[in-house]
Amino acid sequence: MELTLDHDAVVRLCERIEGAQLRAHAIPKLTDEYPGMTIGDGYAVQLALRQRWLARGVRQLGWKAGLTSRAKMKQMGVDVPSIGFLMFDMFRSEGSEIGTADLVHPRVECEVAFVTKAELRGPGCTGADVLEATDFVLPAVEVIDSRFSGFKFDLPSVVADNGSSARFVAGGRARIAAELDLRTLGVVLEKNGEQVAMGASGAVLGHPAEAVAMLVNILHELGETLPAGSFVMSGGITEAVAVKPGDNVIARFQELGSVAMRFV
């Protein structure tokens, strides 16, 4: 990937993102200051952010694919998928109360998550490779929270901001992927008892396993592999819906059960 930022600029942008994440305040997109910033530069900032997180003693749980559905690309005005990392301190268990005081402007989206039992590596990783290496799939909700004002960004900026990742909740029923047709599972997102979004699991690059394969191939470009035992979210199926304190959210997945949480 093409790099234009020097080491000092990467560190400075990483500290700016980290500050915005930790203090829950919005910042202008990074390309306002660095208009020539590339997607590769975005991943360099993301890597610096992950290294600082690991240095604080938090373990990595896995990865997430983002912007893998047309609904999400249209909502966010971008046309290439991205990846981001998932750390243990971002996980919330099913039925949790999720605080909003430490978030800027959270939104929720339904995703199919994969847990792997064998290492996956690119280039050329396919959806079939992913299914073979999958231990089970389960339903998940990602709470995204762009650190950029108005949730407005471009690809280099959102990659640097770790794909807006903030929290995630997994639960429902874990299933063997081969027993399901992952192209056609219906998904409904309810907020305070009302349906606010719906879609089918194939919205994610035709099949969520394809989104995971894409993630593995991007990891290869970054010089990494996906270790066995990784938790991977394959990308929002519907557009993301804003939440505020007091909201009860339930994501209902055909065949995979439901995942509930409450925002406080």
Residues forming contacts to Mg ion in the complex (CB under 5 A) are 142, 236
The candidate with the shortest Cα–Cα distance to 239, out of 112, 82, 109, 64, is 109
**Which of 144, 166, 197, 216 is in the footprint of ligand OOG by CB under 6 A?**
144
Q: Give the integer Cα–Cα distance in Å for 54 and 179.
A: 36
Least separation in angstroms between CB 8 and ligand OOG:
27
> With binding defined as CB under 6 A, does residue 76 bind ligand OOG?
yes
Q: Give the integer Cα–Cα distance in Å for 110 and 188.
A: 8
For residues 123, 129, 207 and 249, what is the CA-based torsion angle, rounded to 10 degrees? -100
Cβ 30 vs Cβ 4: under 8 Å: no
> With binding defined as CB under 6 A, does residue 158 bind ligand OOG?
yes
**Which of 236, 241, 261, 263 is in the footprint of ligand OOG by CB under 6 A?**
236
**Which of 31, 100, 134, 146 is in the footprint of ligand OOG by CB under 6 A?**
146
Among ligand OOG, Mg ion, none, what does residue 21 contact (CB within 5–8 Å per kind)? none
Q: Which of 52-60, 65-73, 98-106, 213-221 is the region at the interface with ligand OOG (rule: CB under 6 A)? A: 65-73
Q: Give the integer Cα–Cα distance in Å for 31 and 117.
A: 39
Least separation in angstroms between CB 142 and ligand OOG:
6
For residue 24 the two structure tokens come to 């829950």
The candidate with the shortest Cα–Cα distance to 216, out of 208, 231, 226, is 226
Task: Provide the residue type at 207 as one letter.
Answer: H
- Quick one: 11 or 188, whose CB is closer to ligand OOG? 188
Among ligand OOG, Mg ion, none, what does residue 162 contact (CB within 5–8 Å per kind)? none
For ligand OOG, the binding residues (CB under 6 A) are: 66-68, 72, 76, 109, 142, 144, 146, 158, 163-164, 235-236, 240
